[in-house]
Copies of this chain bind each other. A is one copy, B any other.
Amino acid sequence: MASTYNTKQKQLILDMLLKCKENQLSCEEIEEKLKNNGTPVGKSTVYRYLISLQNEGKVRKFTSENGKSATFSYIEDKAECSKHLHLRCLSCGEFVHLSCSLMDEISTHLVNDHKFSIDNSKTVLYGLCEKCNSSKG
């Protein structure tokens, strides 16, 4: 499933994902950013490459909770990310990698007591981060 050819377009898309790895970008945003950079890439190419990156596990897809279009972000350490859970702030979108022992207990507990094996790569905990929480209360 991995791409066989290396092309300028793929590199441009990848560079943009890396540059914005703290955020999540929609296909449209990627397309727009590349156009603004003076290095436009066709919409379908963006969609197609993101799908293939997703299949390779190099990109995480967020199916918009509230809005419309899906967003993507690059997974820097694929092996590491499959071991821990992730948090996402509903307000500002901040994405947190949660490496922590209690979180490991969850998996064990769920398997032992509830016979449920959690998939860390598909699971995201939603809530409010400190910043957004305090600005709300």
Contacts and interface: CB of A to CB of B under 8 A. Distances in A.
Copies of this chain present in the complex amount to: 2
A130 interface: yes
B129 A116 contact: yes
A48 interface: no
Nearest to A122: B126
Contact of A87 (B89, B100, B103, B116): B116
A102 B89 CA distance: 22
Nearest to A118: B127
A115 B102 contact: no
Contacts of A125: 110, 116, 118, 123
24 contacts: A63-B63, A65-B122, A87-B110, A87-B114, A87-B116, A89-B116, A98-B114, A100-B114, A102-B106, A102-B109, A103-B106, A110-B125, A116-B129, A117-B127, A117-B128, A117-B133, A118-B125, A118-B126, A118-B127, A119-B126, A119-B127, A119-B128, A122-B126, A123-B126
